[in-house]
Amino acid sequence: MPETGLRFVDRDDLSPICPHCEKYLDEIYVKRRGIAGSDASVHYCPFCLKVLSILPG
């Protein structure tokens, strides 16, 4: 295994795939309101509505 570490590579020519429904995503829905006592935001798939990530506020 190389010991060069992990790199971030800009790839705007590719689209991410939802890990749940496996559709290509050209947008991701964001819910910012209604999360009690928090400024967190929920990112979810526009097709299957399953949660992709939760970012703390």
List residues binding Zn ion (CB under 5 A).
Answer: 18, 20-21, 45, 47-48
Give the nearer residue to Zn ion in terms of CB position, either 16 or 32: 16
Whole-number Å distance between alpha carbons of 38 and 57: 7
Which residues does residue 30 pair with via DSSP β-bridges, in sequence order?
Answer: 43
Cβ neighbour number for residue 56 with a 10 Å cutoff? 7
CB of 52 to Zn ion, least distance (A): 8
CB of 42 to Zn ion, least distance (A): 14
Give the nearer residue to Zn ion in terms of CB position, either 24 or 55: 24
